Amino acid sequence: MLPAPLAAAAVWSPLQDVLLLLLAAMLLGALAERFRQSAIVGYLFAGTIVGPSMLGWVSDQQQIFLIAEVGVALLLFVIGLEFTPRRLWELGPRTLAVGVLQVVLTTAIGYAVSRGLGLPPRAAFVVGLMLTMSSTACVLRLLSERGETDGAAGRGALGVLLVQDVAVVPMMLVVTAMAGVAGEAPPSVAAIAGKALLTLALGVALIGVFYAVSNYVLPRLQSQRSMLRNRDLPILLAVVLALGSAWAAYELELSPALGAFAAGVLLAVSPYAAQIRADVRPLSTVLITLFFTAIGMFGDPLWLLDHAWLVAAIVAVLVLLKPLVIALLAILFGQPTRYAVATGLALAQVGEFSFVLATIAQSGGPASAILSDQTFRAMVSATIVSLLLTPYFVAAGPRVGAWCAKRFGSGWSGSLKPSEATGEGSEHGGVRLLIVGFGPAGQRVAEGLLDASMPLDSVPGVPIESWRPEEIMVLDMNPGNIASARGYGLRGMVGDATQPDVLEHAGVGRVRGVVIAVPDHAATRQVVYLCRDLAPEARLVVRCRYHVWRWQLIMAGAHEVIDEEDQVGHRLAAAARLTLADAVQQQEIQQRRDPPHDGLQNAD
């Protein structure tokens, strides 16, 4: 057992490193945003500045990198929650074929170019593998920020990235086998094939476990009263699901990020998906920021300046050949030119898993290492430079793609639907109204909207069209209320409407109106503020329990406020007049309220 001072140092020293990295990332990320650059650029520079090559305030980059890898898994988990199995299946064999051929062709081209530059066969092969990989964390983070994850280019990029992540396991096996021999003898194909089959079997088994948890265990846990009363418990459950899926994949020697993504996809069909996503996102944001700073720590500006032409040549070949290969393959398999080019540019960098391959390639020591020190440094530097350029490539992708389509033709004779091209409305297409809160008041709202014959007190005699159930989305924290909503045929999601992520996932930006029927005034006002920000064109109809709060909600942005005290006062007055009227007046009033329906009376 460590003495108290040593134990404290073992805990606080890594925490100090994390704190310094996050502080530097916050400052430089804000500076980058100030100059209209991606915050990721600031994060990478932050890692380089405080890392061992410059200030040296943080030196244990391996430990930081291991912690930060959890952020990649959480990011993939969050992305998976946005893709139901059906939508993932819609990627289709064409997209997956593009990914497989990209891995093969990029590796072959990288090998050929490296051999032409004089690298030994094993080193050239490892360099080819490194050039094949793109940055899942960087690309998906940028696409998510731009709202393009579910667009045609975003789905194409996702399909290729998934294939690359699957290919990491056999790549690591091959490089490990190559690093373990002194000569140029190739690794055992039978051993690698056997390991690949075992990995596939374990992956299928793990998906089966995730399916059982998402369909049988999670609904029981979420419906417990303790989960409804204590807001902390659902957050803990969400974090356990995210980290547990990554850990389970790691224990089975699978990619933790891929395992987390698979779990997210299976949970995406759950009504709890939006809330889980909102609960996990803050932790994911912190760790993925740490991940980018950890990558920046690998950079060595002095070495880069001394070998600027070498690194520039590698990056130039990379950003010219890799997007070209991906774009041509995508066009060959039916994707329109504009989206194929945007996909290729988004994947033009070298990814984070290349660091893993490079580290394995150097594991044998200077005498038997596959990569020389100069080759290792050149590839690491090129990787960091390519990541710095990625935000600009992603931003330029749609414009360059449109220009290429105009200059060289659209590529595919078919066309994409608008929702397939942009991703808009694919998840909640057709939703025109969002009801927040589905207690008795919310249920009454739904009944009135679905039944056009229900009279309107304020405009009697005015015909109002009824709404179709699929046009209404219900958002409520109580799973029982969501079950009731689905009993009406409405769409429903379990989630806290005071969180922007939940409202966005519910499609608030595309609805015509929002009815806020929750009794809590603070929550109501917060939802009004968020809706005005996220859906400025939507009309807001809001429930207000007390008259003194009415103007607060109007000032917050509500278009129509239903004052419960005012409404109750009117109903009480009407009831009092009816109760105190004489018998003849009561009968006349009752006949006016309930006129005879001849059609119903004459029916059999």
- In the chain, % helix, strand, coil (3-state, to 5) comes to 70, 5, 25
CA distances from 582 to 384, 478, 569, 578 (A): 87, 46, 22, 8
Interval 440-450 mean pLDDT: 87
SS3 539: strand
What is the tens place of the pLDDT at every residue in 260-291?
Answer: 888 888 887 777 777 788 888 888 888 888 88
Q: What is the pLDDT of residue 12?
A: 64
CB atoms within 10 A of CB 306: 12
CATH number for the domain whose boundaries are 433-593: 3.40.50.720
What is the tens place of the pLDDT at every residue in 37-79?
Answer: 778 888 888 888 888 888 888 767 777 777 777 877 887 788 7
Share of the chain above pLDDT 70, in %: 81
Q: What is the pLDDT of residue 364?
A: 55
* 585, pLDDT greater than 60: yes
Cα dihedral 153, 159, 165, 168 sign: negative
Yes or no: say if 135 and 168 are a contact pair by the CB < 8 Å rule. Answer: no
Q: What is the pLDDT of residue 176?
A: 72
pLDDT band per the 50, 70, 90 thresholds, residue 345: very high
* 82, pLDDT greater than 80: no
Interval 542-549 mean pLDDT: 86
Residues of each domain in the chain carrying CATH 1.20.1530.20: 60-414
What is the tens place of the pLDDT at every residue in 361-417?
Answer: 776 555 557 888 888 888 888 888 888 888 889 988 888 988 888 887 665 444 444
* 86, pLDDT greater than 80: no
Interval 307-316 mean pLDDT: 88
Length of the chain: 604
Residues of each domain in the chain carrying CATH 3.40.50.720: 433-593
Report d(CA 81, CA 269) in Å as an integer.
8
Query: Token match 């850990």: residue?
Result: 247
Interval 571-585 mean pLDDT: 74
Least confident of 27-31, 444-448, 460-464, 473-477: 460-464
Please indicate, yes or no, whether the overall pTM of this predicted structure exceeds 0.85: no
Q: What is the pLDDT of residue 344?
A: 92
CB atoms within 10 A of CB 255: 25
Residue partners of 169: CB distance under 8 A and separation at least 6 = 196, 199, 253, 254, 255
Give 88 or 380, the one with higher predicted confidence. 380
What is the tens place of the pLDDT at every residue in 161-179?
Answer: 888 877 877 787 777 777 6
CA distances from 597 to 416, 450, 586, 601 (A): 51, 21, 20, 6
Least confident of 74-78, 121-125, 417-421, 462-466: 417-421
Mean per-residue pLDDT of the chain = 79
* SS3 per residue for 429-448: CCCCEEEECCCHHHHHHHHH
Report d(CA 595, CA 599) in Å as an integer.
12
Pick the CATH number of 60-414 from 1.20.1530.20, 3.30.70.120, 1.10.10.10, 3.40.50.720: 1.20.1530.20
Q: What is the pLDDT of residue 102?
A: 92
